[in-house]
Structure 1
Amino acid sequence: MSDRARSFGAMAEAYEQFRPGYPVELFDVVMAYAGRPVRSALEIGAGTGKATRVFAQQGVAVTATEPDQAMLDKLREHVPAGVRTVRAAFEDLRPGEEYGLVYAAAALHWTAPEGRWARMAALLEPGGVFASFGGPIQLADPAVKEAVRAARAPFLESDEIPPPDGTPPECEMQWPGTELQRSEWFTDVQQHVIERRLTLSAREYVGQLSTISAYLVLPPVERKQTFDQIVRVLPRTVEIAADVTVHLARRRHER
């Protein structure tokens, strides 16, 4: 795993406090695609359980996997008692039990690309559903967005993670849908967008930035200077675009 992938554990409390959760509409989108009851799910890179709650609270038996112990401890404080938790990275999981749904919430880009889809398929029952969802949290006001970019620029050019396969943002199908379309293991690839706008205080917005890997890997002094500069250009409240892009695919019954 990269340094950015390992950077979250120290901010588990802030991650739980400042990262937005997921709307129940996400569950509806995944279940509508499945077209049948989904009784068991495996979550990859569960973090503090933001997505775990959405599925577990709707009666799905979720096994939540997460490699960082601090994140897993925080998850256990907030998810229903029936959730099974396993400390493991995706690459450490071994075929055994098959699930009706395997999903990753803003975590798939941290997994190793080599053999990713063969490993994913091995965790799913034939016809089972894979889902990946997430998306950047962006300032909705272009003027505020530019002011923050300029304030951040001396320390950090960009705080986004580019698509692992280099898919340009103007393409209709985005990653990981692009990879899924090329995979021999999956079919019926779909992309859905759940539009969402949130209003945050300046403190909440900077708190959310403090959980983003691009800032977490900065030297502590530079990180503080970056946040100080950003706070100076923020209004008291900001509107953010927090759309959730959902990619769905079905494991082939036969390869």
Structure 2
Amino acid sequence: MSGRALSFGMRAQAYERFRPGYPMELFDTVMEYAGRPIRTALEVGAGTGKATRLFARRGIAVTATEPDGDMLAELRKHVPASVRTVRAAFEGLRPGESYGLVYAAAALHWTSPEGRWSRTAALLEPGGVFASFGGPVHLADPAVEEAVRAARAPFLASDGVPSPDGTPPEHDMQWPGTELQRSEWFTDVRQSMIRRRLMMSARDYIGQLSTISAYLILPASEQEQVFRQITRVLPETVEIAADITVHLARRRYEQ
């Protein structure tokens, strides 16, 4: 697991405060795809439990896994008591219990590609559902976005995470759907998008940036400088585009 993947724990409370949660529409999208009741779920890289709450509060028995102890401690403050928590990286999970749903919320790209899909399939019941969802947060106003990009440029060329398999952004099917389509373990791969626009103060937007791995791995002095430069070009309130790309697939029965 990369240094960027393990950089979030130092900002666990900020992650909880500033990262957007997940809407009911996402839950409905997963359940509609499943086509049957889901009683148990395993979450990969649960962070502070933003997605854990969405599923656990609707009667699903969620096991939330997270390798960072600080993130897991923050999660435990906010999720129902019914949630089982396990401190473990995805690669450290051992097949045993199987689940009706395995999902990852803005976390799958931090997992190792080696054995990713066979490991996921081993955690799923035959016919069980895999879901991955998330997406970058952008400023909705192109002029403000460009001003922030210019302010950031001396410190970071980009604050995004590149596609793990190199799929160009203009392709119809994005990662991990591309890998799922090639996997012998999964079928019925679907991709959809939930459009979201959110308003937040400039201060909260900077707080949200402070939870992004590209900034977290900068030296502290550079973090202060880049946030100061970005703050100077922001209006008091900003609109952000926080669209959620959802990938769904079903474990094959015959495997």
2:201 equivalent to 1:201: yes
| Residue 32 of structure 1: aligned partner | 32
Give deviations 1:198-233, integer Å, cap 9, x for gaps: 001000000000000000000000011000000000
The superposition leaves residues 147-169 of structure 1 with CA deviations (integer Å, 9 ceiling, x where unpaired) of: 00000000000000011000000
Q: Deviations over 1:67-108 (max 9, x none)?
A: 000000000000011000000000000000000000000000
Counterpart AA for 1:97: E
TM-score by length of 1: 1.00
Displacement, 1:252? 0.3
Provide the residue aligned with 2:60 in structure 1: 60
SS in 1 for 2:157: coil
Q: How many Å separate the matches in 1 of 2:68 and 2:6?
A: 8
1:63-142 matches, cutoff 5 A? 63-142=63-142
Provide the residue aligned with 1:240 in structure 2: 240
Q: Amino acid of the residue matched to residue 217 of structure 1?
A: I
1:172: which partner in 2?
172
Distance 1:51 1:163 in 2: 22
Matches within 5 A, 1:40-51: 40-51=40-51
How many Å separate the matches in 1 of 2:76 and 2:24? 20
SS in 2 for 1:149: helix
Q: Are 1:216 and 2:213 counterparts?
A: no
**2:143 and 2:227 mapped to 1: Cα distance?**
18
**2:222 aligned with 1:254:** no
Amino acid at match of 2:206: V
Q: Is there any run of 5+ residues in structure 2 with no aligned partner, and where?
A: none
C-alpha distance in 2 between matches for 1:157 and 1:224 = 17
1:153 corresponds to: 153
Report the Cα distance in structure 2 between the residues aligned to 1:37 and 1:76, rounded to whole angstroms: 26
Deviations 1:104-155 (A, max 9, x none): 0000000000010000000000000000000000000000000000000000
Please give the secondary structure, in 1, of the residue aligned with 2:199: strand
How large is the RMSD of aligned CA atoms in angstroms? 0.4
TM-score by length of 2: 1.00
Q: Which sections of structure 1, spanning at least 5 residues, go unmatched?
A: none
* Count of residue correspondences: 255
Percent pairwise identity: 78
For the residue of structure 2 that corresponds to 1:62, the secondary structure is strand
Q: Distance in 1 between matches of 2:19 and 2:218?
A: 19
Q: By how many angstroms is 1:40 displaced?
A: 0.1
2: CA distance, partners of 1:66 / 1:20: 19
**Which residue identity lines up with residue 43 of structure 2 in the other structure?**
E
Measured after TM superposition, the shift of residue 254 of structure 1 is 1.3
Give 1:219-230 correspondences, 5 Å limit: 219-230=219-230
